[in-house]
Every structure is written in C-alpha cells, then in structure tokens.
Structure 1
Amino acid sequence: MDRKPNFSKNADGLLPAVIQDQWTLKVLMLGYMNQEAFDKTLSEKKVTFFSRSKNRLWTKGEESGNFLNFVDAKIDCDEDAILITANPVGPTCHTGDDTCWKDENNGKVGFLEHLRKTIKSRKENPSEKSYTTSLFNKGLNKVAQKVGEEAVELVIEAKDDNKELFLGEAADLMYHYLTLLEAKDIALDEVIDTLITRHK
C-alpha cells in the first residue's frame, strides 16, 4: 500500500471500507473499519469490520462461514476510505444475495485483465522457464499461427459433446488470443471499444 488509512479523521475512529470481488470486480458490500479491524484483516487475511450494532470486531463469515478472503487494500487520496479486494466464500449479503445490492456476482472479467498483465510482464521481463516468453521469442508469425491452431482445435471439439475438452481448448484460444494482442501492442480495451462502437 502506498498510503495508510488515517483513522483519526473521524471522531469514532471508523472509516468506510468498500469490498470488491477480485475477479468479477463487483462491489460486494460496505462496512466500517477501525485500526484494529484493519490490522486484523491484514494479519489474518479474513475481512474484519467494526460492527456498530454489536460494538465489537466482526469477521465477515464468523457465523455463516461466508468469509471474505482478503487479497489487497487500497487507500483513497484523502486517506479516509478503504477499498478491499477479496475472494468471497458463498454469498456476501446476510439476505443470501451475492451482494448487498442484489447483483449476481458473476462474469470474472477481472481475471482477463490479470492474465493480460501477466502476459505483458512476460514480454517485458523475459523468463527462460516461461512458455509465454518462448512464444514471444519465436516472433509474431508463430504467435499468430498458434491462435489459428487453437481456433481449429476449438472448432473440432465443438462438434463433440465433451465439455471438459471444449473448455480446455476455449481457454487455450483465449490465452493465445491475448498473447497475440500483446505481440501486436494492441490493448484489449481497443478491441472492446470496437465492439462498443459496433453495438451502437
């Protein structure tokens, strides 16, 4: 973290903490933390709040088992709000909904961004043990060829009824497609912008 939360900004020592799913990027809930709750979250890797109704520390999931496994914390520019990324175990809201806003917590688009950054890192910081690095070292034509090969394999699997094999080929194609975009220095957002333009 490049900043630390300033709990002295509020008289009660509490700061709002927004919880966001690491992969879906959906906002799951809002709670409040004091210094002790924040420190416990960092040390135990389970998101912990200060419950104003119970007047004590409260680890989300301590009764239901629906924990929020801590991933990262960011502090806003005024140092008086916290953004926590987490991996939820089960629904987050006490009502049984995925989020406290009744949104379904699906669509793990955040992982694609994580994968894209990993691919970019392998290009900029080569590693001998990395398959991605070896692809970049073979040049653009080889990367493009792999996309074509994976696309054909996916089409072949689409004609059968083996879901596991189909998903494997679909994942291979997605990975190689992202690698090709990186080899061409094209951002995934540029492709999405093109889709948005066509959608109008």
Structure 2
Amino acid sequence: MNPDFTKYADGLMPAVVQDVNSGKVLMLGFMNQEALDQTRTEGKVCFFSRSKQRLWTKGETSGNFLLMKDILLDCDQDTLLIKAVPVGPVCHTGADTCFEEANPSFSLQQLENIITDRLANPDESSYTTKLFQKGINKVAQKVGEEAVELVIESKDDNKELFLGEAADLLYHYLILLQAKQFKLDDVLRVLAARHKEKQRGT
C-alpha cells in the first residue's frame, strides 16, 4: 500500500472510518504519513488534527478509542478506509457515529467472527467449541432440530418463543456453515447471482 500524500498541499489524506462488524461509517478524519504509521504501530486510529495542528489519537481524552483492524487504500491512492472496532460512542456529541446513525453493538458479522474464533481457538468451556468437536453430523442434526422447533413455534402466537427459536436456528446455521468451511458471504453470493439471473428474466 503506497498512499500518495503529495496529492494534497497540506499532505493530509481523507480517512473514512468504518465499523468492521456493522459496516456503518463512523467518521471522517485526516491522516498524514506519521498518523498512518502510528495507527499501524499502536493499533488505535490516529489522525492529524487540523485544529490542534498535531497528531491526535481518537479517544485520547474520552477513552472512546477506535481499534484498528484493517486499512485499505482506494484505487487513486488518495483516500484511506480504516476498518475499526469502536470503544464507545464515536462522535463528540455522544452519538454512535458522526452522521447521527445508530450503530448496533452486536451484528451477524460479529457473531460469525466469534464462531470463527471458537473454531480456530477452541475453548473447552464454550458450547460452540463442544459442538464443533462432536462433528458435522451432530452440527447438522442440531440445525434440523432447531428448524423443527421454529416451525412448531410459528404456529402459536408467543413472540418471545418464536424469536428465541429463530435466533437458535440462525446461530446453529452459522456453525454449520463454518463446519463446512463456508461463510455467510458465500451464501449471499449465491443469492446475489440468483437475483441477477431473475432480473435478466432467466
């Protein structure tokens, strides 16, 4: 990655910060080479503050840091995309984002990441780890059981029980995908291809 800071007279490049789990855009800041280097070294997103005229680590006063997970550069090499995990509200107003959007504290992507970690780093106290260790047949069986339980609850009017079974099915479905070495994105690609075919009238 070779960002071209010389494209800007002040040497400051726009840096868009995105929540790595929810995909929400959190804020826009500016970086010079030094700020980028510090972000990579410390793992906390650092900008160059135009008002303070110095390096500024987001959260250095409030404690609401942005923990860097990935850094991408656009095709023109003049804008950065920082994928991060926010520790608390991002905006100085107390809002989740600087664009007044709510940012969910938990997402399907985050759940999938947890399941991935349990597969890569087994924890004997974890239900997910224990289920993986029982093998693909047991995982598939659990998905079938949860699907049947969801169908049964759908025939009644108990909202909490229905949503609980729906959550159980989704959770075990994600485990099955991982056990088969797939991710939710793989399924979404199939759905996207089907949608594209439908639009073409095929």
Q: Secondary structure at the match of 1:187?
A: helix
Correspondences of 1:97-176 after superposition (within 5 Å): 97-106=95-104, 108-111=107-110, 114=113, 118=116, 132=132, 135-136=135-136, 138=137, 143-151=139-147, 173-176=169-172
> Which residue in 1 is equivalent to 2:156?
none
Q: Is this contact kept in 2: 1:25–1:109, CA < 8 A? A: no
The change in CA–CA distance for 1:109 and 1:175 in structure 2 (over 3 A counts) is: closer
Q: Quote the Cα distance in structure 2 between the aligned partners of 1:5 and 1:109.
A: 32
The CA deviation at 1:156 is 10
Distance, in Å, in 2 between the alignment partners of 1:178 and 1:38 is: 35
How many correspondences in the alignment?
175
Q: CA deviation at 1:59?
A: 0.7
Query: Which residue identity is paired with 1:28?
Result: L
TM-score normalized by structure 2? 0.68
CA contact 1:178–1:188 (8 Å) conserved in 2: no
- Does residue 37 of structure 1 match 2:35? yes
Are the equivalent residues in 2 in contact too, given 1:181–1:187 (CA < 8 A)?
no
* TM-score, normalised with respect to structure 1: 0.68
1:78 deviates by 1.5
Q: Aligned Cα RMSD in Å? A: 3.7
Q: Deviations over 1:132-168 (max 9, x none)?
A: 48634x4xxx5542202244677999xxxxx9xx97x
Note if 1:27 corresponds to 2:25. Answer: yes
SS in 2 for 1:72: strand
Give the Å deviation of 1:110.
Answer: 3.0
Query: Quick one: distance in 2 between partners of 1:193 and 1:180?
Result: 22
Cα-to-partner distance string for 1:33-75 (whole Å, 9 max, x where unaligned) = 0011111111111111001111111111111111111111111
Q: Does the CA-based 8 Å contact 1:181-1:188 persist in structure 2?
A: no
Aligned to 1:40, the other structure's residue is in SS state: helix
Identity %: 56
**Equivalence for 1:69:** 67
- In 2: Cα distance, 1:156 partner to 1:45 partner: 47
Unpaired segments of 5 or more residues in structure 1?
Answer: 123-128, 158-162
Correspondence list, 1:84-103, <5 A: 84-103=82-101
Unaligned runs of 5+ in 2: 121-128, 154-159
